[in-house]
Amino acid sequence: MRLVFLGPPGSGKGSQAKFVVERYGVAHISTGDLLRNAVKAGTEIGRKASAIMQKGNLVPDELVTELIVQHLDAADIWSRFLLDGFPRSINQAEQLDATLDKRMSPLTMVVHLHVEHDALIKRLSGRRTCTNCGRIYNVYFEPPEVDGKCDDCEENGELMQRDDDNEKSIKNRLTVYDENTKPLLAYYEKSGLLRTVDGSGDLAGIAEQVDRVIQEH
């Protein structure tokens, strides 16, 4: 099974990916996570990407595509992956199609999580992530039991706010989504791969809907 999760920032791609990974054993590849790791490690790609990410702009296609291909190759997971945050432009989608065609591993399905922009702003500004296990909280809707600490990780789990989850960057990321990524809906609709799920509401309810569209395949 080869899946793409498509949706604006804050639509819950990362949270829903966790459910699908646990249930179906696919490998979760988040370009945002790969890039943040590259920034932290100070690699060449990370140095090039850092300032671009902070503003909420898109990192150049060739860097992101290279990162994805390297990762798929290294882990040898061409047959079972879930891409979260990639592709984010028509050009990236075409590069992905060409790469997968070469390996005779076409996409199985593209799951689109639909959430209105107003709801996204609150989700993104309230988002906190555990630095230890990656669990995602929201200070408005799903706060931790103890302020700033992960419920699952005892004293190791500090909750952090992402550098790009500030008001200016959030607004820019939503504009970038509308201009660059939204056209992918028509692109994947045309190829018959697109399935849209209502991404508002509680995590478990959304996970059920995601599971339903996967099962229907």
Catalytic positions, written as ranges: 13, 88, 127, 162, 173
Under the binding rule (CB under 6 A), the answer on residue 7 touching ligand AMP is no
Which is nearer to ligand AMP, 54 or 200 (by Cβ)? 54
Under the binding rule (CB under 6 A), the answer on residue 85 touching ligand AMP is yes
- To the nearest 10 degrees (0 to 180), the angle between helices 61-75 and 44-55 is 130
Q: Which of 64, 120, 194, 197 binds ligand AMP (CB under 6 A)?
A: 64
Under the binding rule (CB under 6 A), the answer on residue 88 touching ligand AMP is yes
CB nearest ligand AMP: which residue? 32
Residue 11 dihedral angles phi and psi, to the nearest 5° = -80, -5
Cβ pair 163, 54 in contact under 8 A:
yes
Q: Which of 8, 15, 26, 86 binds ligand AMP (CB under 6 A)?
A: 86
Nearest distance, CB of residue 128 and ligand AMP, angstroms: 14
Q: How many CB atoms lie within 10 A of CB 87?
A: 26
Nearest distance, CB of residue 15 and ligand AMP, angstroms: 12
Nearest distance, CB of residue 84 and ligand AMP, angstroms: 7
Q: Which of 6, 17, 53, 150 binds ligand AMP (CB under 6 A)?
A: 53
CA distances from 124 to 61, 76, 174 (A): 24, 33, 11
Size of the site for ligand AMP (CB under 6 A): 17
Which is nearer to ligand AMP, 45 or 53 (by Cβ)? 53
Which is nearer to ligand AMP, 20 or 35 (by Cβ)? 35
**Residues in touch with ligand AMP (CB under 6 A):** 9, 31-32, 35, 52-53, 56-59, 64, 85-86, 88, 92, 164, 173
